[in-house]
Amino acid sequence: MSATAPREGEGIVGGQPLPDGWAAPAHRPGADDLASTSFAERAHENLQRPFQRTAIANATDHTVKALQERFEGTDHDALREEARRIRAHAIANLPAYLEQWVDCAEARGITVHFAADEAEARRLVAGICTDAGAARVVKSKSMASEEIALNSALEDAGLDVVETDLGEFVVQAMGDRPSHVIAPILHRTAGEVRELFSAMAGEELPEDPVALTSFAREGLRHAFLTADVGISGGNFLIAETGEVVLVTNEGNGRLTTSLPRVHIALVGIEKLLPRRSDLAVLLPLLTGHGTGQRITTYVSVLGGARGATEPDGPEQMHVVLLDGGRSALLGGEFEEALHCIRCGACQNVCPVYRQVGGHAYGWVYGGPIGAVLTPLFRGQADGGELSHATTLCGACDDICPVKIPLHDLLLGLRRRRVAEDAAPVSERIAFAAWGLAWRHPLLYRATTGAARAGLALAAQNGVVSRRLPGLGRWTATRDLVLGRRR
Amino acid sequence: MTDRASFLAAVASTPRGHDPGLPSRDAAPGAPTELAAGESLLDRFQAEAEAVATIVERVAADDVPGAVAAALRAAGARTAALAADLGDLLEPVRTDCAAAGIVVDDYAAIAGDRARAGALDATVTGCIAAVAATGSIVTTGAGGRAAALIAPTHVCVVRADQVVDGLHALFAGDAIAGAGSMLALQAGPSRSADIEKTLILGVHGPGRVHVVLAV
């Protein structure tokens, strides 16, 4: 929603004026904390919200259980292997498939735009909106648009932007950020949503998710019926047909791409699949790993603007292809990060994510894939420390529907961080000294003996639970149980 | 400004990673969205559709128009729009709905008026296919892109011979040739679990989906 004074008919959802928090978000969507705070600080802040940890645990347990039930009695591994091969083949041949997709899409009358980076993508999308003389824009959930901080750019261009996914609507109204790829307000309670919607409604609403949803539906329906432009992401691009595939449960994706007179899809170039038939492999994995569903309620395969004999649909369809650091990964050590289909399953099983939540990762993507993508897209300087925001337990490898070796990628990023001298000086000196000492038998015996004596002094009943000098931060949250000497 | 040539050239200038080769397009091995051998097409379709809260009713072909009108009345609909993909059923459905006291319009005639379309009680569409293994009905831009979810109730007529096995048969087969600007799958009412994982139906699309299956 525009931060400037509302124009006539604006700043109102469902006939209700918007609360202060909406008009001037405290935390503009897309802004990131990477440069200004550390992972430890963000994690600490998020650990102070006890509801959040319970909510994440409940929600992720629920989804993981549904996933297991969904694939029970099927050859799940055969399907994952098929998907891995399709994704690896598509990415290895990305230049050819991208060109094929562009040719097919243009033949369908889709206007294709090319954004080398985030800034160019923002300019392109805002330009299409202003060229169309748009005042109001409805959006369906798009992680790519979070990546490029699109909403702020559109608001700065004087557009009224309304997120239509229920969770994203709450995120936008609170000036918050999504904390999970699939479930944006995993970290919020029904009570918080009730408070927000009550402020918007100007009356106390009940804390009943059905009533809260129907309040949002009414306002969002008004937005759908009055919007000039609909902006979506895209779950897949089909090279052989030039189509964009969109998956939603609420139906907001279908309405966003059907009702306004202009549709813009913002899609990362890695979303390509060679053939339409590949959807039979990838869709059940995306939905099964994302939510545990056999299939989402809605799947839209979009192939252009309204046809001459069709009763509805947009007059124009634009696709903005986003590179934004993707092509730089092709052919390199981290290429497999591009295989990701954004199902969120690795977040659900990650012991670190489950404690600290998505916001602690500081940018758009959380969990293991976030710890991989953030330094790759945003640079080592600000994102590199995230390769340590993991226990390397490997649960993410086991659950990834396209078998991305997240564990290896995280280790690779740790190696790169050391090689680029991005690790703190104290850490590098400590490890260098340790390495030197333990290469010599005498020094090894001397240091281990001293450590054993020191720990025995620090221990009570065989457990060291106090902070150790020089290792204060590491030992503050960890106990060391001393083993008996044989 | 990055143009097509420079954008594609930048991607093409990258080193090439390992290519395991593209699997054949003949199957989707292990997918829960395929039919098991010997499984009944119509029984599986009905079971999957009902599992996602679709109302499924099997009727003889001649009884379809009456069943549609009854489905609209059961939903309490006073207005309904009929999509052109009903084909030969369009006029018989119109007649039976009018006889039941329902105000009917052609979806094509009112779709351009968003306010009016948004105020409908119900829509009635046909489909070009239905997917047994997922309980999905498949519509196209020809019938109307928003026709299945603009109103609180959606009634869809499915012919038994339109039901295909699974997603693979749908996407690799020719049932969807000529889909127009949109090929659309829908399984049950619109849903969300965004607020504390509580499942809510009818978020943006219909809260009630009624399939009249002509056998």
The shares of helix, strand and coil residues in chain A, as percent rounded to the nearest 5, are 50, 10, 35
Residues 148-167 of B with CB under 8 A from A: 148-150, 166-167
Query: Given A102, A275, A284, which is nearest B33 (Cβ)?
Result: A284
- Comparison of pLDDT for A105 and B193, the residue scoring more: A105
Question: Domain B45-214 is of which CATH architecture?
Answer: 3-Layer(aba) Sandwich (3.40)
User: Is A65 in CB contact (< 8 Å) with chain B?
Assistant: no
B193 CA to chain A: closest CA distance, Å?
Answer: 8
Q: For position A319, what pLDDT does the model report?
A: 98
Residue A25 has pLDDT above 50, yes or no: no
Which of B116, B168, B192, B209 is the best substitution to test chain A (most A C-beta atoms within 10 A)? B192
Q: What is the mean pLDDT of residues A14-37?
A: 51
Q: For position A484, what pLDDT does the model report?
A: 67
Residue A276 has pLDDT above 50, yes or no: yes
Q: For position B196, what pLDDT does the model report?
A: 83
Task: Give the residue from chain A lying closest to B193, CA to CA.
Answer: A183
If residue A91 lies in a helix (H) or strand (E), which one and from where to where? helix A76-92
Which of B3, B7, B174 is the best substitution to test chain A (most A C-beta atoms within 10 A)? B7
Q: In chain A, what are the domain boundaries? A: 12-30+75-322, 31-73+344-423, 427-481
- B207 vs A contacts (CB less than 8 Å): none
- A212 vs B contacts (CB less than 8 Å): 195
**CA–CA distance, A424 with A431 (Å, rounded to integer):** 11
Q: For position A483, what pLDDT does the model report?
A: 73
Q: Return the structure tokens found at B180.
A: 């127009």
Residue A287 has pLDDT above 80, yes or no: yes
Longest distance between any two alpha carbons in chain B, whole Å: 68
Which of A194, A277, A291 is the best substitution to test chain B (most B C-beta atoms within 10 A)? A277
On average, the pLDDT of chain B sits at 94
Q: How confident is the model at residue A29 (pLDDT cuts 50, 70, 90)?
A: very low
Q: What is the mean pLDDT of residues A434-447?
A: 91
Q: How confident is the model at residue A430 (pLDDT cuts 50, 70, 90)?
A: confident
Cβ <8 Å between B32 and A284: yes
User: Is A373 in CB contact (< 8 Å) with chain B?
Assistant: no
**Count of helix runs (H) and strand runs (E) in chain B:** 7, 12
- Phi first, then psi, for residue B121 (nearest 5°) are -85, -30
Q: In chain B, what are the domain boundaries? A: 45-214
Residue B9 has pLDDT above 50, yes or no: yes
Q: For position A51, what pLDDT does the model report?
A: 83
Query: Given A114, A167, A331, which is nearest B15 (Cβ)?
Result: A331
pLDDT tens for A227-245 read: 999 999 999 999 999 999 9
Residue B152 has pLDDT above 90, yes or no: yes
Q: For position A3, what pLDDT does the model report?
A: 34
Residue A315, classified by CB atoms within 10 Å of its CB into exposed (0-12), middle (13-18) or buried (19+), is exposed
Residue A17 has pLDDT above 60, yes or no: no
Q: How confident is the model at residue A485 (pLDDT cuts 50, 70, 90)?
A: low
Cβ <8 Å between B29 and A78: yes
Q: For position A24, what pLDDT does the model report?
A: 34
- B149 vs A contacts (CB less than 8 Å): 251, 254-255, 298
Q: For residue A258, count other CB atoms closer than 10 A to its CB.
A: 28
User: Is A328 in CB contact (< 8 Å) with chain B?
Assistant: yes
**CA–CA distance, A188 with A170 (Å, rounded to integer):** 9
Residue B200 has pLDDT above 70, yes or no: yes
Residue A486 has pLDDT above 90, yes or no: no
User: Is A294 in CB contact (< 8 Å) with chain B?
Assistant: yes
Q: For position A6, what pLDDT does the model report?
A: 34
Q: What is the mean pLDDT of residues B1-10?
A: 94
User: Is A283 in CB contact (< 8 Å) with chain B?
Assistant: yes
Q: How confident is the model at residue A421 (pLDDT cuts 50, 70, 90)?
A: confident
Query: Given B84, B184, B198, which is nearest A254 (Cβ)?
Result: B184
User: Is B177 in CB contact (< 8 Å) with chain A?
Assistant: no
Q: What is the mean pLDDT of residues A14-21?
A: 40
Residues 139-158 of A with CB under 8 A from B: none
Residue B70 has pLDDT above 90, yes or no: yes
Three-state DSSP at A170 gives: helix
Q: For position A472, what pLDDT does the model report?
A: 74
Strand duo A316-322 + A111-115: pairing: parallel
A365 CA to chain B: closest CA distance, Å?
Answer: 18
Cβ <8 Å between A306 and B181: yes
Q: For position B197, what pLDDT does the model report?
A: 83
Q: For residue A477, count other CB atoms closer than 10 A to its CB.
A: 8
Contact A404, A339 (CB under 8 A): yes
User: Is B184 in CB contact (< 8 Å) with chain A?
Assistant: yes
- ipTM score for this prediction: 0.96
Lowest model confidence (mean pLDDT) among A199-203, A223-227, A409-413: A199-203
**CA–CA distance, A110 with A305 (Å, rounded to integer):** 7
User: Is B178 in CB contact (< 8 Å) with chain A?
Assistant: no
- B25 vs A contacts (CB less than 8 Å): 275, 277-278
**CA–CA distance, A241 with A221 (Å, rounded to integer):** 32
- Comparison of pLDDT for B135 and A468, the residue scoring more: B135
Residues 96-135 of B with CB under 8 A from A: 107-108, 111-112, 114-115, 117-118, 133-135
Q: Which residue, among A368, A371, A367, A369, has the nearest Cα to A382 in the 3D structure?
A: A371
Q: What is the mean pLDDT of residues A438-443?
A: 91
Which fold is adopted by the domain A12-30+75-322?
Rossmann fold (3.40.50)
- B142 vs A contacts (CB less than 8 Å): 307, 309-310
Cβ <8 Å between B118 and A249: no
pLDDT tens for B81-98 read: 999 999 999 999 999 999
Residue A175 has pLDDT above 90, yes or no: no
**CA–CA distance, B18 with A141 (Å, rounded to integer):** 32
Q: For position A16, what pLDDT does the model report?
A: 41
Which of A101, A295, A335 is the best substitution to test chain B (most B C-beta atoms within 10 A)? A295
Q: For position A455, what pLDDT does the model report?
A: 85
Residue A476 has pLDDT above 80, yes or no: no
**Count of helix runs (H) and strand runs (E) in chain A:** 22, 14
Residues forming a β-bridge with B211: B56, B156
User: Is A107 in CB contact (< 8 Å) with chain B?
Assistant: no
Residues 40-79 of B with CB under 8 A from A: 48, 52
Query: Given A88, A284, A295, which is nearest B18 (Cβ)?
Result: A88
Q: What is the mean pLDDT of residues A176-191?
A: 88
Task: Give the residue from chain B lying closest to A213, CA to CA.
Answer: B203
pLDDT tens for A144-164 read: 999 999 999 999 999 999 999
**CA–CA distance, A26 with A247 (Å, rounded to integer):** 31
Q: What is the mean pLDDT of residues B21-30?
A: 88
Cβ <8 Å between A79 and B188: no
Residues A282, A100, A84: CA angle, nearest 5 degrees: 25
Q: What is the mean pLDDT of residues A62-80?
A: 95
Q: What is the mean pLDDT of residues A59-74?
A: 93
User: Is A164 in CB contact (< 8 Å) with chain B?
Assistant: yes
Cβ <8 Å between A280 and B118: no
Q: For position A376, what pLDDT does the model report?
A: 95
Whole-number percent of chain A with pLDDT over 90: 66
- A301 vs B contacts (CB less than 8 Å): 179, 182-184
Contact A380, A417 (CB under 8 A): yes
Residue A12 has pLDDT above 50, yes or no: no
State which amino acid sits at residue B129.
A
Task: Give the residue from chain B lying closest to A89, CA to CA.
Answer: B19
Q: What is the mean pLDDT of residues B117-131?
A: 96
- Phi first, then psi, for residue B179 (nearest 5°) are -70, -15
Query: Given B16, B29, B133, which is nearest A82 (Cβ)?
Result: B29
Q: What is the mean pLDDT of residues A317-343?
A: 97
Q: For position A9, what pLDDT does the model report?
A: 35
- B183 vs A contacts (CB less than 8 Å): 243, 300-301, 303
Cβ <8 Å between A183 and B193: yes
Q: Return the structure tokens found at A486.
A: 């044989």
